[in-house]
Amino acid sequence: MKAKQLENQQYSIRILSLALLMFLMFVFSNSAFGQNVTVSGNIVDKSGEPLPGATIVVKGNETKGTQTDFDGNYSIELIDTTVTLVFRFLGHISKEIEVGSQTVINIVLEGDPESLDEVIVVGYGTQKKSDLTGAVSSVKGEDIKKFATSTAADGLQGNVAGLVVRRSSGNPRAGASINIRGFRSIGGNTPLIIIDGIQGNFDLLNPDDIESIEVLKDGAAAAIYGSLSANGVVLVTTKTGSKDGKLKIDYSSYYGVDQINNTLDFANTFQYLEMAKKIEASSPGSAPTYINDTFSTNTNWMDELFGNGSIQNNNLTVSGGTSDLNFLVSAGLNKRDGILKGESRKKQQVRAKVNGTKGRVTLGANIYYVQTDDNIFGSNLNRAYQLMPIIPVRDPSKDSGFGYISDDDFNGVPDHTNPIGEDAFNDNTRKERNLVTNFSGSIDIIEGLKLTGRVGIENANVSTYDRIRPHRVSNKREVEYHYVEEYRSEYLQTNYEGFLNYDNTFGKHTIGLLAGISKQDISLNWIGASVEGKKILDDGTEVSTGFLDSAFNTLNAGSDGIRNNYGSGWETARHSIYGRVNYSYDNRYFLQGTIRRDGSSRFGASNRYGVFPSVAAGWKISSEDFFDIDAINFLKLRTSWGRLGSESNLGAYDYAVNTVSGYRYPFGTNELQSLGITFRDFPNPSLQWETTVNINVGLDFGLLDNQLTGAINYYQRNTEDMIIPAIPPNSSGFNPIFTNGGDVENKGIEVELNYKNSSKEFKYDLGLVFAHNKNELTKVNKDTDTYTGDATTLDGSPANISKLGHPIGSFWLYQTDGIFQSQAEVDAHNVNGDLIQPLAAPGDIRFKDVNGDGQLNDDDLVYSGSGIPKVTLGLNLSGSYKGFDAYVQFYGAFGQKGYNTIRQNYEANDNYRNYLVSGLNTWTPTNTDTNIPRAVLGDPNQNSSKNSDRFLEDASYLRLRNVQFGYTLPSSITDNLNIGKMRFYISLQNLLTITDYSGIDPEIGGTLNAGSDFVSYPNIKTSLFGVQVNF
């Protein structure tokens, strides 16, 4: 179902806008005039060192420019000598020089550690950093690359205050989640990603292609993107070709070894059998017959499943051009073999970017292709952890060649599956092909007025293949028939942008105007099919069919078997108009106002459109005549207010009635049933936008000749009309209905500090980012006062519950009060003579009856903390001396709790699965000085299955995230090799984590399930060696 209202109303506007853009480009494309003049020179810093890569552009026409070479030399052709040239280099104060009659202009740029005059990217334009009124943080591409990864998001962690990146698994396929300024909703909290002006996918970016990243955190900075920006905006600018007329070749490569960062310590055979005997003693005659046998097998399944992995990465970039036409072509290969044997990912990327300027017209194209191939482990890790050490990995006596214990071998053996054997008979792969094509064009209509158009198309095709060959590696389950399943999906996103910018300065007044339209269409279609190589005869007998041997591995090979197919699709549309006004007076007082109107097909017709405004103001105090403090070089106060919208996690048609086909109904007396449909969802046409009001007050400063720079921000984010799933009665058979209800507040403070200094050849840089956030659910729906996630613990209930007055996804747990040491203590735990825990015995956990009613139920659950960090901290230290350089990064998160479900599952000494060593010191009448309850079959007191503070731990941590040492060969060597630069380095990632948390890793993700540790794939630490070469 397509949102025809939006498409039909706006289609003509889109076509007209694009046609006008192309017409204007054609009309003005040859409007260049005047005599060409060449201006050249050299750019150095205050110590006389050349600044390679410095940019020189014509003021008012940023597309006309060039760059310096390795020696700091430049040359630029001008058609008009009355222009002003702007000279810039990252980390230095820009200079503006009127050309006039000069043909040689040499420049010395003064250092400015935080680049307060640096021009950075903002929504639909650029601004000087010193003129910003919103909360914006910048990260250079070089800083992103310091952390070796195929996902650019990893490079942001610890570099931006208030931005949290979580990667709680070492799986090569695991993505990194990004969150800015806390969880503002129980729905989606992922920020908007804009790549070169077009909405894109962060995971498709090659980190080596990034020039810079800007993070828009408050309402004023992000509001220009309207309903897409409630979670913040990440603006990515990719590298472009050089403009100095020279061909440049950059090559980088690294190879590393991945190791398991933390492992689970399971019992060995002796320990396992001793524990099994303890359980048997609690219920004589119930134990498996094998527990009194002698076993030579002592399998450490963690060691068998995991080993060292590897990572290798290669990038090649070729770029060149002039100020009129430049290009960049890059290719990247990243391959990672996981620490889990059999897991791997291979990612290949190619990108081509071309920009051309003629007269007043600039055209550009940015095309990249990403190909990802995954091999997936064909078994379940959680099930693997349950395996007893008495089971061998391989057993020649079994037909499959893999070990398991059958009921014929021993009586009462727990159900188990050999994961290594299961993986050997399972071929599981995933392939993804992404093609992104972005085109842009702009024309300078008159001085200060520019028309820009952009078109972006992202196409993603995913295919999976799963083949299981007949085998038996389990005591219960035998796979007798071949099975093949294939899946295909196609995702298509198209974005259209057209906007006008007008910038002008008259006297002490500077004004900037923006007006534009935007259109987005998204569709996803998928189809899948499976076949099992068997058929059922008329007499009910199962027989094998198709798949004559392992060479027959396609769907059609089993076409005579049991077949299944499925598929569906959806489409959405969005249309927007937006505008912005910037005004400044005398470079001291700044005002900004934005407004955006969004329409989305995900809402009903009466609530389809939303309006999202923002206002901001800034005061550059240090520019006032009365301000005369030598130690403070720059001081600016700013404040902002903005209202942003969100669709949260709404599906394409959640506002409407959804039907499901495939059900058969009898009619009349006919035995045949007719195919029909059923309704599975209540409609909610009144569903409306989730909105977030942002308030921000910030202070930017530069001290000690701007060697110490930074920013302090206080923010408050209030989400209203949160989109939540309301659960209908189970008897209805309906899915949850989405409705508006509930408010969330986040408020906090952020600090970013940077100190840079140099002494002759020694340079160093200290960076600190700090954020404190408080999250609270401030209003609930009258019909739904709590919200829970999908993840459940051992007894099937959630440990995380969102309740009024507490953070989203808080822990509500039973409180423990030690262990009963005697039957007298059990009997004394009563109300009016009635036992509170009638099934308890000495050695069991004592639970608190919080409300004193004599029963243990949900009324006794107590708020026990939150999995959301209260404080996050990043510390970056770098320095260089002559050719040597070093970089160290620490990252920490503090104040959060972790619910260790791994302990809850494997310290559960109530069955005959494997056990964690930490749970072996069980209570016995002769071993009472322990916090581990007695071993007892079935756990009648729910020592482990009841969600309690017994498994809640402090998950605060400080991690030594990256240590890197490098050496750059001196020019005396590289010049003889015709090499511009060659650097070698070693890097150690995730080297050390300081924490009291006993789980696999304290970095636990999730929103509604924040802090609940269901992670079974350990995280990794990496040691690597790399080289970077420039020609």
The better pLDDT of the pair 8, 856 is held by: 856
Q: What is the pLDDT of residue 1022?
A: 95
Q: What is the pLDDT of residue 14?
A: 53
CA pair distance 742, 961, nearest whole angstrom: 37
Q: What is the pLDDT of residue 790?
A: 67
Q: Which band of pLDDT confidence, cut at 50, 70 and 90, is reported for residue 52?
A: confident
Q: What is the pLDDT of residue 120?
A: 76
Q: What is the pLDDT of residue 27?
A: 40
**Dihedral angle sign, alpha carbons of residues 392, 395, 397, 401:** positive
Q: What is the pLDDT of residue 553?
A: 87
Per-residue tokens: 260: 């398991």
Q: Return the top range by mean pLDDT from 103-107, 169-173, 520-524.
A: 520-524
- 55-71 per-position pLDDT tens digit: 888 887 766 788 888 78
- 357-407 per-position pLDDT tens digit: 998 999 999 999 999 999 999 998 888 888 999 999 999 999 999 999 887
Average pLDDT for 278-292: 79
- 860-889 per-position pLDDT tens digit: 999 999 999 999 999 999 999 989 999 999
Q: Return the top range by mean pLDDT from 95-104, 156-165, 731-740.
A: 156-165
Q: What is the pLDDT of residue 406?
A: 83
Q: Which band of pLDDT confidence, cut at 50, 70 and 90, is reported for residue 414?
A: confident
The better pLDDT of the pair 630, 443 is held by: 443
Q: What is the pLDDT of residue 114?
A: 46
Q: What is the pLDDT of residue 25?
A: 46
pLDDT at 23 over 50: no
| 830 and 810 Cβ atoms separated by less than 8 Å | no
- Residue written as token pair 């972006």: 456
Q: Which band of pLDDT confidence, cut at 50, 70 and 90, is reported for residue 895?
A: very high
- For 538: left if phi > 0, alpha if psi spans -120 to 50, otherwise beta; the answer is alpha
Q: Among 636-640, 729-733, 741-745, where is mean pLDDT lowest? A: 729-733
Q: What is the pLDDT of residue 297?
A: 93
Per-residue tokens: 4: 């025809």
Q: What is the pLDDT of residue 884?
A: 95
CA pair distance 314, 967, nearest whole angstrom: 19
Average pLDDT for 986-992: 95
Would you call 683 helix, strand, or coil by DSSP?
coil
pLDDT at 906 over 70: yes
- Convert 178-232 into a string of H (helix), E (strand) and C (coil): EEECCCCCCCCCCCEEEECCEECCHHHCCHHHEEEEEEECCHHHHHHHHHHCCCC
| 955 and 948 Cβ atoms separated by less than 8 Å | no
Q: What is the pLDDT of residue 783?
A: 53
Give every strand in the sheet of 136-140, ordered side by side. Answer: 136-140, 210-216, 233-238, 192-195, 198-199
Q: What is the pLDDT of residue 5?
A: 45
Would you call 124 helix, strand, or coil by DSSP?
coil
Q: Which band of pLDDT confidence, cut at 50, 70 and 90, is reported for residue 668?
A: low
Q: What is the pLDDT of residue 784?
A: 57
Per-residue tokens: 427: 């071929």
The better pLDDT of the pair 573, 16 is held by: 573
Q: What is the pLDDT of residue 8?
A: 46
- 785-824 per-position pLDDT tens digit: 777 776 677 777 888 888 999 999 999 999 999 999 999 9
Q: What is the pTM of this model?
A: 0.86
Q: Residue 100, Cβ neighbours under 10 Å: how many?
A: 11
Would you call 986 helix, strand, or coil by DSSP?
strand
Average pLDDT for 415-440: 94
Q: What is the pLDDT of residue 194?
A: 93
Instruction: Give the angle subtended at the CA of 300 by the CAs of 303 and 392, to the nearest 5°.
Output: 115
CA pair distance 487, 482, nearest whole angstrom: 17
State the average pLDDT for the chain.
Answer: 88
Q: Residue 848, Cβ neighbours under 10 Å: how many?
A: 17
Q: Among 49-58, 666-675, 729-738, where is mean pLDDT lowest? A: 666-675
Q: What is the pLDDT of residue 187?
A: 81
Interacting residues of 380 by C-beta distance below 8 A, sequence separation 6+: 417, 419
Residue among 385, 387, 378, 396 at smallest CA distance from 416: 387
Query: H or E element: which one contains 305?
Result: helix 301-305
Share of the chain above pLDDT 90, in %: 59
Q: Which band of pLDDT confidence, cut at 50, 70 and 90, is reported for residue 649?
A: confident
Q: Which band of pLDDT confidence, cut at 50, 70 and 90, is reported for residue 781?
A: confident
pLDDT at 32 over 70: no
Average pLDDT for 723-744: 80
Residue 804, amino acid: L
Average pLDDT for 563-567: 91
Q: What is the pLDDT of residue 19?
A: 44
Average pLDDT for 245-267: 93
pLDDT at 659 over 80: no
pLDDT at 185 over 60: yes
CA pair distance 955, 26, nearest whole angstrom: 61
The better pLDDT of the pair 992, 77 is held by: 992
Q: Which band of pLDDT confidence, cut at 50, 70 and 90, is reported for residue 10?
A: low
